[in-house]
Amino acid sequence: MKQFKQVTFRLNGKEVSCVVDVRSSLTDMLRNQFGLTSVKKGCEVGECGACTVLINKEAFNSCIYLAVWAEGKDILTLEGLMGPNGELSDIQQAFMEEAAVQCGFCTPGFILTAYEILEEPRDYTDDELRKLLSGHLCRCTGYENILRAVKKVLRQRLEAAKA
């Protein structure tokens, strides 16, 4: 028997509401009901990180998060990073400049975890950054340029904080 439930939450800064099958994952709700295609499906069991979204500013694998749990939450997907006039966030810009994008399938998830890390910039070592980003799998980049991009923005933000 299919059961449905109404869910109300904030999505990329806007109050939204919809009716979902209670068995749905947050991934499926965001993709199918809100058309947010940045939320990618790579394994659907929380292994690859491609479906990452921020829930109350914390990165989660949305594939193993039930849609109904979104009730009352503040959810940010990659689409929500773009400014009102179409401007990119610094971390998106850095991914472009540092050639951190290849096939692009892991990119949205990586950017959101990086965004979470960068919101509270600290003087992380490379090893600490690697560990913080290790919930995402990528087969194209060897992670090298992704690390470069994150470090670049981290430096920028730390310098901005000092100034």
Q: Which of 29, 143, 152, 153 binds other proteins (CB under 8 A)?
A: 143
Query: E strands of the chain, at which residues?
Result: 4-11, 14-21, 52-55, 58-61, 74-76
Q: Does 23 bind other proteins (CB under 8 A)?
A: yes
**Closest among 97, 146, 102 to 126, alpha carbons compared:** 146
Count how many residues are written for the chain. Answer: 163
Residue 79 and residue 85: Cα distance in Å, rounded? 13
CB of 142 to other proteins, least distance (A): 3
Residue 72 and residue 55: Cα distance in Å, rounded? 10
Residue 149 and residue 91: Cα distance in Å, rounded? 7
* Count of residues touching other proteins (by CB under 8 A): 55
Question: 74 to 133, contacts with other proteins by CB under 8 A?
Answer: 77-79, 81-82, 88, 92-93, 95-97, 99-108, 111, 127, 130-131, 133
Residue 156 and residue 10: Cα distance in Å, rounded? 29
Q: Does 66 bind other proteins (CB under 8 A)?
A: no
Q: Does 22 bind other proteins (CB under 8 A)?
A: no
Q: Which of 19, 122, 142, 160 binds other proteins (CB under 8 A)?
A: 142
Q: Which residues contact other proteins by CB under 8 A?
A: 23, 31-32, 36-45, 47-48, 50, 77-79, 81-82, 88, 92-93, 95-97, 99-108, 111, 127, 130-131, 133-134, 136-147
